[in-house]
Amino acid sequence: MKKFFADFKKFISRGNILDMAVGVIVGSAFSAIVTAFTNKIIMPLINLLLSFGGDGLSSAYTVLKPGYTYTYNEAGEVVSKTFDLASSIYIDWGAFITAIINFFIIAMTLFIILKVAMKSSELLRNATQTMEKGKLTKEEKKELKERGISTKNKVAIAAYRDEKKKLAEEKAKQEAEEKARQEEEYRLSHPSQEELLKEIRDLLANNEKKAKK
């Protein structure tokens, strides 16, 4: 039992589980906002544009089997009948169009939010890198102290970093050249099958020429 609760605690403490829980909660609230925005703002405007002799999307349906509500007199005879949408079988095009509009609004809003979040994250990352780049590491402080350079002397620090950068580039260049040299030595000491066949062919050709002479 103790192990069960320990595993459960470990499970709910995982970062992706917490992120998923936050996402579900925020998603539910976001869905309510989008639904209210669609039903209370977008749909009335669309209904206004489509209300030429009708009730907008609320009247956009195709009746497959009509249903009626009947009115009877005292003798039990039908006096009148009224079309009843609730008891009819019909295709609700308005609800379908509303769902499509909801989808596009949610997709567009999420796209905008993601774009803003990614841009903000990029700006924050660049600002953090700039701040970290300006800070002196312990190793740099130690080297500056050994050289007698003040950590407040920005000009000297810039020159020191330029020198350090050039040394790092030269070192990287030397390492690349040494690696290329080692690879070439290895290739020469371990020829491929094609190279061996070529050497044998050249050797046989030379021997044949000497024999003809």
CB 102 within 8 A of CB 78: no
pTM: 0.42
Domain range summary for the chain, segments of one domain joined by +: 2-59+98-135, 139-212
Distance, CA of 149 to CA of 161 (rounded, Å): 12
Q: Does 3.30.1330 match the CATH number of domain 2-59+98-135?
A: no
Give how far Cα 116 sits from Cα of 102, 119, 122, 125, 196, Å. Answer: 21, 5, 10, 14, 61
Distance CA 167, CA 100 (A): 61
Run means of pLDDT, 10 residues per run, the chain, 213 residues: 68 62 73 78 75 61 81 77 80 81 78 81 72 66 77 76 84 89 79 74 75 66
Long-range own/partner contacts, residues 136-144 (CB < 8 A, 24 or more apart): none
Helix (H, G, I), strand (E, B) or coil at 89: strand
Angle, helices 138-147 vs 154-189, to 10°: value is: 110
Nearest to 114 by CA among 10, 3, 17, 23: 23
Neighbouring C-beta atoms of residue 57, cutoff 10 Å: 20
104: CB partners within 8 A, 6+ apart: none
- E strands present in 50-184: 61-65, 68-72, 78-83, 89-92
Q: What pLDDT score was predicted for residue 146?
A: 79
